[in-house]
Structure 1
Amino acid sequence: MRTFGTQAIGIRTPIIHQGDNLPEIITNAIIEHTKETNTTICDHDIIGITEAVVARAQGNYATVAQIAADIKTKFPTGPVGIVFPILSRNRFSILLKAIATAVDELYIQLSYPTDEVGNHIISTEQIYEANINPHKDVFTEQEFRQLFPDLKHKFTAIDYLELYRNLGNQAKIILANDPCEILKYTKKIIVADIHTRTKTKQRLLTAGAGTVYGLEDILTQSINNSGYNQTYGLLGSNKASEDKVKLFPHSCEEFVTKVQTLIYEKTGAKIEVLIYGDGAFKDPVGKIWELADPVVSPAFTNGLLGLPNELKLKYIADTEFAHKRGTEAREAIIERIRQKQKNLIGKEETEGTTPRRLTDLIGSLCDLISGSGDKGTPIILIKGYFDNYACE
């Protein structure tokens, strides 16, 4: 019996700069890896590329001034409100600077006790102890500080209310979980949440909002030679400097197809390719849901469409073949896997498997392998992902 299954390997590359031929760099790095390890690239191997290097090679950046110029066209005059931004210097600080530069007056409504992705302003226990109803209770910053004097984040030691007020040119802070509270201050709204943005927009418009844009509606085209993203705008952006953000990459479908084609030309193997950003998983200690990008994977080749179609191995071992042992059990399970249906959705023998899209699972695996620090492996090679216990 073969002793190894799926393998995920971080592949090092040179530092990527604007204008680099990234598909060629990726292909060369993969081929060099096979030479170093005396391995081969096989059909159905997967290559993941972090969105950061794709955007860097594209030069997909925007400055505070370029972002502000687009916002100014959407909100020429009057006060503007921001609803539900996440608490992140990396994700939102530069965007807030740009918004504050563009508008006459700014209101920021934060959700509590956490933002959308689980960053805590205060703990859930503090809410209960203060006898607060987070579904309806609304606070100004001053009222909130009277109840909770220490608002420094547990891990970063940042007081995000103070930080956002100052970055927003002394913006007024409101804490409420009903997005319609912002309408008491202004009818002009920037919806800043990520995964719930469509619902938030609908609620505001139904409640009488005037002008409503989401972060995904800003920089959908180049402004004053800026980068852009036609689908996600500012969503998925990261701080690049004190005056600039790196945007989510554009033209991603063309990119993954190019990499797939180059690998085939060089190796003869039909691989799958995806671009990945944040993984979709939650930290059980810090309570932070990692996914601050709008999607795990903005583009992937067709072989990564769909959900896993897997039997729950321990379930069939404990039920159908509980009476078998050793080689007999192994051979029975292998035959059971070979005979499984092409669509197992809803079948009892799949209970306990993970009903998530392949791209979310694979992208999360890639994100965990590459990390966000100094590993220097923006490419992940995954071998044997589509193997199962029956594969020799």
Structure 2
Amino acid sequence: MERMVGTVVRGLRAPIIKEGDDIARVVVDTVVQAADNEGYNIQDKDIITITESIVARAQGNYASIDSIAEDVVKKFGDDEFGVIFPILSRNRFAVVLRGLAKEAKKIYLMLSYPADEVGNHLVDMDVLDVKGVNPWTDVLTEKQFRDYFGYIKHPFTGVDYIEYYKSIMEEYNIDFEIIFSNNPLTILNFTKNVIACDIHTRFRTKGLLKKYGGQKIYGLDDILNVPLDGSGYNQEYGLLGSNKSSEDRIKLFPRDGQPIVEKIQREIKEITGKTVEVMIYGDGAFKDPVGKIWELADPVVSPAYTKGLDGTPSEVKLKYLADNDFGHLEGTELKKAISDYIRNKDDSLVGEMVSQGTTPRRLTDLIGSLSDLTSGSGDKGTPIIFIQGYFDSYIK
């Protein structure tokens, strides 16, 4: 019988992970038990993905606002400083801001507008057009922003993030100013000491600030990139990729993931004789067309993966072949012609018309998005994703 099913994605329910758990052991046991319970076989080139959250939880990679504040004091002393381009998020940035503000003398908070880096909007672009405001050139004070646009709550969260971030700084009774600009150099008119909070443009931002007169210039990736008094840390990303754990504690992005994915791959091989691929994933890389949010608030989709997931897909567009190269064929002849083409295709199809419309993204980004959409961020309880048939083609 001809095979009718291609890629199959399963969200696997796992125990609640606590600090100190052997995460590799938990993943292996869950994957093997799920296959036994559901009656399917683990095969070569199957993919196991693990959400970054449970890896960090098992590592105990947490930090308090006291640890953040201590690192900030080490870097700035009693100097005032700017905090620029943070994302608008209760989960991602609010607790971080508590840590930045806890021992600060004064903060100049500079927000990008009409939206943050990942698409959370302070104001709609259409409203900017009506008001005659150019976000690429116009620098606004808090009063000017309010005079133009009033008080606007996020449509999904119901939060006015300007007021929310103000309330956090007011809670710590510090002096502060709020500025709106998309030019990182604007902050140098207020202070030469800056924490750049952008994620994917941070290297450019820090480079420009240093080039044009900045003195103490850091990014969130430079804060808690080493442990302080036993705190969690991430040597590569610092506070980037962190999430709220409580009002005064954050979970950091996991570190040292490569030994974990390789251990899982090795143990599955020992148990089943099959070589699977394994990756740790964070946010997928996709955009919400309604909320306009670009999901990728983590510094990378995957901080660790086995070598079989390196690279990009090399696929042909079946409908292009069916409509063009083999448009004169039908039925079994068409199927045979396309199958032969796939079987003999080049390893690289860069620049070839036959690959147009296929997704030119890295495998880890594609699989991470698939995994993130499957597991969600709520109460599904499936932090491990098991994928079969992802590398199959039409001829498999």
**TM-score, with length taken from structure 2:** 0.98
Amino acid at match of 2:249: K
- Specify the alignment match of 1:361 in structure 2: 366
Of stretches 310-319 and 146-155 in structure 1, the one that deviates more from structure 2 is 146-155
Match of 1:184 among 182, 189, 192: 189
Q: Give me the whole-angstrom Cα distance separating, in 2, the residues matched to 1:311 and 1:43.
A: 23
Match of 1:316 in 2: 321
SS at 1:182's partner residue?
helix
Task: Give the residue type in structure 2 aligned to 1:57.
Answer: A
Amino acid in structure 2 at the alignment position of 1:135: W
Match of 2:345 among 336, 340, 350: 340
Q: Secondary structure at the match of 2:93?
A: helix
Which one-letter code corresponds to 2:223 in the other structure?
I
Residue type at the aligned position of 2:164 = L
Aligned-residue Cα RMSD (Å) equals 0.8
1:223 aligns with 2:228: yes
Amino acid at match of 1:43: D
Q: Is the 8 A contact 1:112 1:134 kept in 2?
A: yes
Deviations 1:134-161 (A, max 9, x none): 1111111111111111221122111111
Q: CA deviation at 1:171?
A: 2.5
Matches of 2:167 and 2:215, distance apart in 1: 27
- Cα distance in 1 for residues equivalent to 2:388 and 2:169: 47
Q: Give, in angstroms, the shift of residue 328 of structure 1.
A: 1.2
Map Cα deviations across residues 250-289 of structure 1 (whole Å, 9 max, x no partner): 1111111111111111111100000000000000111000
User: How many Å apart are 1:104 and its aligned residue?
Assistant: 1.1
The separation in 2 between residues aligned to 1:373 and 1:246, in whole angstroms, is 16
Structure 1 counterpart of 2:144, one-letter code? E
**Which of 269, 272, 275 is matched with 2:274 structurally?**
269
Listed as ranges, the matches of 1:260-299 within 5 Å are: 260-299=265-304
Structure 1: state its 5+ residue gaps: none
Report the equivalent of 1:121.
Answer: 122
Contact 1:273 1:301 in 2 (8 A): yes
In structure 2, the partner of 1:371 is: 376
- Deviating more after overlay: 29-38 vs 191-200: 29-38
The residue matched to 2:33 in structure 1 has which SS? helix
1:319 match: secondary structure: helix
1:64 alignment counterpart: 65
Describe the superposition over 1:306-355 as per-residue Cα deviations: whole angstroms up to 9, x where unpaired: 00010111101111111111111111111110000111111111011110
- Verify: 1:251 aligned to 2:256, yes or no: yes
In structure 2, what is the Cα distance between the partners aligned to 1:319 and 1:298? 40
Measure, in 2, the Cα distance between the counterparts of 1:313 and 1:171.
58
Q: How far apart are 1:126 and its partner, in Å?
A: 0.6
Contact in 2 for aligned 1:312/1:353 (Cα 8 Å): yes
Query: Hey, what does 1:96 align to over in structure 2?
Result: 97
Q: Which residue in 1 is equivalent to 2:311?
A: 306
Equivalent residues, number: 391
User: What corresponds to 2:143 in structure 1?
Assistant: 142
Q: Which residue of 1 aligns with 2:82?
A: 81
Kept after mapping to 2: 8 A contact 1:164/1:171: no
Amino acid in structure 2 at the alignment position of 1:86:
I
> Offset at 1:101?
1.1
Paired with 1:97 and 1:228, the residues of 2 have a C-alpha distance of 17
- Give the drift of 1:123: 0.3
Q: How far apart, in 2, do the equivalents of 1:286 and 1:132 lie?
A: 22
Is this contact kept in 2: 1:165–1:172, CA < 8 A? no
Which letter maps to 1:207? Y
Pairwise CA distance, 1:185: 1.1
- Quote how far apart the aligned CAs of 1:34 are: 1.1
Deviation at 1:14, TM superposition (A): 0.7
The equivalent of 1:49 in structure 2 is 50
Q: Deviations over 1:31-53 (max 9, x none)?
A: 11111121111110000000000
Query: Which residue is 2:244 aligned to?
Result: 239
Matched, 1:329 2:334: yes
1:168 offset after TM fit, Å? 2.1
Secondary structure, aligned partner of 1:173: strand
Return the alpha-carbon distance in structure 1 between the equivalents of residues 28 and 178 of structure 2: 49
Equivalent residue of 1:240, what SS? strand
State which drifts further: 147-156 or 318-327.
147-156
CA distance in 1, matches of 2:189, 2:291: 34
CA contact 1:117–1:291 (8 Å) conserved in 2: yes
5 Å-filtered alignment, 1:20-35, equals 20-35=21-36
User: For 1:277 and 1:89, how far apart are their aligned partners in 2?
Assistant: 18
Provide the rounded CA distance (Å) in 1 between the counterparts of 2:82 and 2:167.
Answer: 15
Correspondences of 1:170-209 after superposition (within 5 Å)? 171-209=176-214
Give identity over the alignment, percent: 53
TM-score, reference length from structure 1: 0.99
Q: Say which is worse superposed, 161-170 or 236-245, in terms of deviation.
A: 161-170
3-state SS of 2:295 partner: coil
User: C-alpha separation between the residues in 1 aligned to 2:307 and 2:381?
Assistant: 28
Question: In 2, Cα distance between the equivalents of 1:145 and 1:200?
Answer: 27
Indicate conservation of the 8 Å contact 1:51/1:277, yes or no. Answer: yes
- The amino acid that maps onto 2:364 is T
- In structure 2, runs of 5+ residues without a counterpart are none
